[in-house]
Amino acid sequence: MKEISVVELKSKMDANEEFQLIDVREPYEIDICSIGGESIPMATVLNQTEKISRDKPVIIHCRSGQRSAAVVMQLESAHGYENLYNLTGGILAYADEVDNSLSKY
């Protein structure tokens, strides 16, 4: 499984690089804090693969990186994705290392 750090993600955002950001947390978690991206909750992601790009990098994140890692592994093994990256440490790491104005929970 490929991973990307929160600092690398921020660099991609700042450079306006083309990628898809997917948040697999629940809607109530996104209400607490968000770094943007498309909301596809973990429980529904395997039923919504048509929303996940195959022709550009896709960065998947959650709160700590564990749920998103599980989603990446499922999508790679069950659907053959090769362009997925797990955000190491999730939004908690992003809040710690990039934007400490984000609420942590």
Catalytic residue among 35, 62, 69, 75: 62
Known catalytic residue: 62? yes
Q: What is the 3-state secondary structure (H, E, C) of the chain?
A: CEEECHHHHHHHHHCCCCCEEEECCCHHHHHHCCCCCEECCHHHHHHCHHHCCCCCCEEEECCCCHHHHHHHHHHHHHHCCCCEEEECCHHHHHHHHCCCCCCCC
pLDDT in tens, 23-66: 999 999 999 999 999 999 999 999 999 999 999 999 999 999 99
Question: What is the distance between the alpha carbons of residues 82 and 103, in angstroms, rounded to a whole number?
Answer: 32
Average pLDDT over residues 84-98: 98
- Is the separation of the CB atoms in 59 and 3 below 8 Å? no
Mean pLDDT of 10-31: 98
Predicted local distance difference test score (pLDDT) of residue 17: 98
Q: How does the average pLDDT of the chain come out, rounded?
A: 97
Give the residue among 90, 86, 26, 20 at the shortest CA–CA distance from 49.
Answer: 20
pLDDT band at 94 (very low <50, low <70, confident <90, very high): very high
CATH code for the part of the protein at 2-97: 3.40.250.10
Per-residue confidence (pLDDT) for residue 103, from 0 to 100: 95
Above pLDDT 70, what percent of the chain? 100
